[in-house]
Structure 1
Amino acid sequence: MTTADVVRCPWGSAPDYVEYHDTEWGRVVRGDRLLFERLTLEAFQSGLSWLTILRKRPAFRAAFADFDIPTVAAFGEEDVDRLLADAGIVRNGSKIRAAISNARAAQSLPDGLDALLWSHAPPPGRVRPRTLADVPATSAESAALAKDLKRRGFRFVGPTTAYALMQATGMVDDHIVGCFRATEASEASKATEVSETRGA
């Protein structure tokens, strides 16, 4: 079976999205640095296409010190000027300053960014969407996460951005029915159930 023969979510079949859909979107991401990267990129995506951000991700990683939170938190005005002059990234002053502010907010979290974000993940057992029309743009959990982040000093992370973050990092699995990634998840769940049953 070739890559072209695989059934995917409709958006994931576009040539520029295949690898991202197949290897990243919806897979569980843990760790403060990796989650800070996803949080930052989702915030930069606001008002733009995700493809724009995806193509610029290597440049973003270089510009933001591979999203090392303490390093980004220490950025000053010289770094802001440097980033505003970097044609490889999205040169939006408000978003650049928000990324630096968010690094500082993340650094101040007593239990870390990972613990905060995943504390808002919905419980397992959600009904899988059957079509793209069934995939929501927000959820009660993403609204709660956005509110919590705002309360802690984070910027450019509203309910829609928070939900996109949840989708991208595996907090929710919105691969639609029929997508091979959805089938993989169902088979993995069944294998876990069998294993648990045998171990009982």
Structure 2
Amino acid sequence: MLSVGLTGGIGAGKSEVSRLLDRLGAVIVDADQIAREVVEPGTPGHAAVVAEFGEEVLLPDGRLDRPALGRIVFGDPARLAALNAIVHPLVGARSAELQETAPPDAVIVHDVPLLVENGLVPLYDAVVVVDAGEETRLDRLVRLRGMSEDEARSRMAAQAGREQRLAAADFVINNDGPLAELEAQVREVWRRLLDRRTG
């Protein structure tokens, strides 16, 4: 088994790399997906978030209003830390459960947006960083995700700097170019991960 951390700044294209690795045979443990699951209505995580932030972060059906919550926490480090203190331990516990059930020869890719920020690098056998320039990322967030430029810059500023992420990387995948280039890089990184697993 090989445990791999996959990360990248918002808008870098980490989700696309995760999809490509999934197709190549990786077992994907998606921290964002788990983070949504652990705060579904009826869970302890949901109750804790509502207790901390109030019912104004709820939609009429009782689910969390993620954009409303995002507006509260991004740009306010103390509120972001409060949210992370609720969600991150729950995500960590669920991720560990998923890893334990994977086949013994698996390459498990943990898709973790805040891997560097949360000091998680030592948990993995290898770290893959998806990198793209600031202007590329800003363009994707505004054009593809519908964020305002201010909101996009705020989200980017809430994460680790590019240099900090790159310093943590065993492998860097550059995603400033076209999809074909990305796919070739992902295939090469996958080959090297398999070598590490069997080495």
TM-score bracket, shorter-length normalisation: under 0.3
Give the TM-score normalised by structure 1. 0.26
Q: Which has a greater percent of helix?
A: 1
Higher relative contact order at CA 8 Å, sep ≥6: structure 1 or structure 2?
2
Question: Quick check: which has more Rg, 1 or 2?
Answer: 1
Give the TM-score normalised by structure 2. 0.26
